[in-house]
Amino acid sequence: MYNNAEYTMKELSMGYVRVIHTVPDAPNVDIYANDELIISDLAYGNYTDYLSIPEGTYKISLYVAGTKKSPVLANMLTVNKNTILTVAAVGMLSEIGLLAIKDANESKELDKAQIRFLHLSPNAPAVDITLPNGTVVFRNVSYKQVTQYIDVEPMNYTLQVRVAGTSNVVLTVPNINLIADKYYTVYAIGLVDEKPELEALLLLDAENSME
């Protein structure tokens, strides 16, 4: 339904959407837009490529994969022309929701990489994102909060997630290799002291979305 084989930018005003599943206790899901299947069998911790979608407002429904009885979530999503979105299924299954995040939506300095952080661990407190030497990169980020992008030198980094305002490291994220003129988001997902464990996903934002 939603791909460049059927629609071109000359024919319709398009937006670009990918979906990420971050609900720790939810099963794999099928995702429908206006009752048409667009994503099949998306598992926790996985995400799609960007889909090109005509601008408009859509009813987004998530069903347990392979079923179409009662949805585990139904919500409305507005897609605007040339907007690039990541739509995250967030929370726990009992209070599942959708969070729409604009990707690559800030100007960047040439020859620098852009990075931001998004806190999607339902039971984690507010956190600071630091370098191993304690330098704070993002401060006091609470659940469902996304930071602004910042310019950084393109290189390999190790980041630490610490309980906000403390030296208590709850997660270390090594080998974050950032390339010049690219946008990145680090997603914290999972649970503190429970399964699935707290982890970080590094996603390249907006790549291939407008080809």
Rg over CA atoms, the chain? 18
Q: Note the pLDDT tens digit of each residue in 8-37.
A: 334 468 999 999 999 999 999 999 999 999
DSSP state, 93? G
pLDDT in tens, 132-178: 999 999 999 999 999 999 999 999 999 999 999 999 999 999 999 99
Q: Looking at the whole model, is its pTM more than 0.85?
A: yes
Assess contact for 165 and 143: CB atoms under 8 A.
no
- Report all structural domains of the chain as residue ranges with CATH numbers, in order of start: 1-102 (2.60.40), 108-211 (2.60.40.2890)
Kindly report, residue by residue over 87-100, the tens digit of the pLDDT: 999 999 999 999 99
Per-residue pLDDT averaged across 105-122, rounded? 93
Per the structure block, which two tokens stand in for 188?
């914290």
- At residue 210, does pLDDT exceed 60? no
Q: How crowded is residue 9: how many other Cβ atoms within 10 Å of its Cβ?
A: 12
